[in-house]
Chain A
Amino acid sequence: MRRLTSVACLLALAALALLGGCGEPQFNDAEKKTIASLALNTLPSLKPDTTNQYADAPAAAALGSTLFFDVGMSRDGTVSCSTCHKIDRQFQDDLPQAVGVGRTNRRTMPLAGVARNPWFFWDGRRDSLWAQALTPLENPLEQAGNRAAFAHYIEKRFGERYERIFGPLPDLSTVPANASPLGTDAEKAAWNAMSAAQQDDVNRVYANIGKAIAAFERSIEPQQTRFDRFAIDLATGAKPEGDAAFSPEEILGLKLFIGKANCVSCHNGPRFTDNAFHNTGVPPADGLPPDRGRVDAVAQVQADPFNCFGKFRDGDESACRELRFMVKDGPQIMRAYKTPSLRGAADRPPYMHAGQFATLDEVMAHYSKAPPSVEGGSEVHPLDLSERERAALVAFVKTLSD
């Protein structure tokens, strides 16, 4: 009878082992496929930008880098792109809203992998990296300059370098010191007094400034992280060693991210973004003017003379399909913002388009509750995450920073 019980016990144990998943892998095949699709090694090489013939010209990138860090590129000589996009801070500034010549209404965006975006800014109101660069230069709250002054400045400081890349500068001797279609009343009046040919000359120099800066920004790429090492080991069947090994909490966070919490429906691909616009019900920041996101950006990108359909584009119109086929109206673009990449996010609070949340814990609390949007409908629904699950998601997002 003793023998019988012990054999029965052994068999029962074997059955338990079979069912209880002793040898069961941590991730099923579908999960493994999703995890592999998030790893940095699946990032394709950067496509050429046919709208900017200087995009991959080293001399243009070098000039662009100079301009990016040059405070001379502002009205009062105190602000450059790098004032807000700090090279040692993932090209952002850790503030809820950026501060240039004045205080802006949005958070500075980090720039890793930026050349891969189809749309620029939180609301996508620009459609190329070079057209984007022209916006802060003239924004009164950022660099607060004007295009005529920038053209004169380039001639004076970088004339030779400019001409080696872009060919001869136009004759600027009769162009007013300050003039722009977007500036102060005096600058607008000065702009309107210029001949169409002069306006065109200045616009061309201005567009080339953007193209040089864009050429520089193309070199800013995301770095490999612990998550990528883990994902590569998982894909190749190697046992993750050292810091590539995930803790049970990080594993749970990853499983939630690609499973029950479905973060991966928007934060997908090796940059953790679908490059699209979504209303996620993030509340407006206190004290700022109304911000309706994508719905107001549509008309702005259409009206931008430097957009892909405009005459400053190089190459042909086949490069303009994003602009041509963009969603122009409908309820889904109300308070919709671009899905941000989550690479490096843990190291650069605060979060969201106006720095609404101070910590990743607050971000997870938001997704757990998913309050309705103040305007338009939120696409995210309450996940009712436990404290342990929220902490696990935070732990996972941190693996994208180490």
Chain B
Amino acid sequence: MASIWRYILAGLGLAALLVGIVAAVYLMLPQPAPAPDISRSKSTANGLFVASFEPERGVIRQGELQSWLLTLKTAAGAPVEGAAITVSGGMPQHDHGLPTSPQATDYLGDGRYRIDGIKFTMSGWWQLRFAISAAVGSDSVVFNIVL
């Protein structure tokens, strides 16, 4: 009888050990780098505009030239018209720039600007920076895109 209790006790002890090992291994796994903010809509750096940035066809395809839409509203929600927009960016972790030079090519009304010539040639963390200048003033915004 006593020996059965011994087995049970040993079993419990080993189970506890196992849990301990699993926990230790889990803790030792490399921690992922803090994820960049990938929201598609945000206030510009000085709060002058609210900018949204979406692929025009809805999906991102690696390696293809694509157009995106940048929508600009004032903080009060009015569409921003006649903005001059320049685009830059790159991959912060590879310290290289964009493989293409995207441009604002068309104004589509309602604060929407077509940004054409965007190409993501590799998976990873990309940044697109927009310098925006409109009647109310100039501001900038950075979008993170992770693919």
Contacts and interface: CB of A to CB of B under 8 A. Distances in A.
Chain B interface size band reads 20 to 34
A103 interface: no
Contacts of A18: 18
A76 interface: no
Contact of A4 (B6, B17, B101, B117): B6
Contacts of B117: 321, 324-325
B53 to A, nearest CB: 17
Given A11-B14, A15-B21, A327 B98 contact: yes
A275 B121 contact: yes
B47 interface: no
Nearest to A267: B122
Contacts of A4: 6-7, 10
Interface string A264-305: 111011000011111000000000000000000000000000
A374 interface: no
B10 A325 contact: no
A15 B18 contact: yes
A268 B122 contact: yes
Give the secondary structure class of B's interface.
mixed
Contacts of A268: 62-63, 121-123
Contacts, number: 75
Interface residues of A, number: 30
B100 A7 contact: no
Contacts of A275: 63, 121
B121 A19 contact: no
A216 B97 CA distance: 36
Given A19-B25, A275-B121, A321-B116, A326 B14 contact: no
A269 B10 contact: no
A144 to B, nearest CB: 35
A19 B116 contact: no
Interface of A: 3-4, 7-8, 11-12, 15, 18-19, 34, 264-266, 268-269, 274-278, 321-322, 324-328, 330, 332, 379
Question: 7 closest Cβ contacts across the A-B interface?
Answer: A325-B117, A274-B121, A276-B99, A11-B14, A325-B100, A265-B122, A15-B18
